[in-house]
Amino acid sequence: MRRLDGQRALVTGASSGIGAATAQLLAREGADVALLARGEAGLLRVATRVREEGGQAVVLRADVADRAALEDAIAEGVRQLGGLDVVVVAAAAGAFGRFDEIPPEDFERCVRVSLGGAVDTIRAVLPELERTAGRLVVVGSAVDEIELPLLSPYVAAKHGLHGFLNSLRADLRSGGSPVELSEVRPGAVDTPFWLHLTHPGRLVPPTIPPLTTYTAETVARAVVACAIAPRRSITVGGSTVLLSLAERRARPLMERAFALVGRFARARARPDPARQGLWEPSGEGILDGHLHGRPSLLAALRLRGARPRGGVESS
């Protein structure tokens, strides 16, 4: 039996990576899905997969950093689906480089997409979720407590998002809201995010060791599990949990280790003249970033009761 039969879902960042994988798994569980992102090509590919799973797919083109366009797109999604029961906030953007290398406008754009876009999405969908006693699942990041170098705007945004969600959860409880709020906190994930990072010199970060990266499908399974059986927060990946523990217990050592990682990554970065992901639509319906991500045994064990079945297409 499909566990989300008749449910209506909205996914931001749906044209690639975690958002695209999540949309397909939601449809497999019986949901109709509104897909929201900037790029048309990726949205259409993901919409095809949603329909192949038996779900209705609504394509919504909007930049989450444009509040008016975002609100209009969400309103259209609500109109076409007849309401919302599940909302997944997965849109994010990053810039690569040392803080003093990143132009102010690039820094602000990253924060506007990853934090401001999430806040504006939640503000727009909350009235609908209040009406249906719905579920809100937000893709955060373990960098909200890990000192990741060369990604300062993304880290700042995810720190802010984590704090906002904690405050929002308290507000929902104090107001007697029926909305269930879950946060999914992955570590490094093998998605096109790494291919779309923007650098003022068009540099691309070196490949991350496969040991530390997880597949987009692994994170999407955690997201859909929270849509089925909400939980406050889940961290995806055993290595992510270990890094978080090390950060709490041995912060000075971790600071030195990440400083070395930052120097290595900056020295090994290579130029890519076509790099435009921060400001231009970039989603092509692809799930991975060619980093050889792996599944998470820990997440599979923790989510076994609500874990979605089957695999998803990667390209």
Q: Which positions are annotated as active-site residues? A: 154
The CA-to-CA distance between both ends of the chain, in Å, stands at 27
Phi and psi torsions of 194, nearest 5°: -70, -30
Alpha carbon of residue 104 to chain centroid: 23
Return the beta strands (E) in the chain as ranges: 8-12, 32-37, 57-61, 86-89, 135-139, 180-186, 189-190, 203-204, 214-215, 233-236, 270-271
Tokens describing residue 128: 């609908």
| Strand, coil or helix: 91 | coil
Nearest to 172 by CA among 186, 183, 184, 157: 183
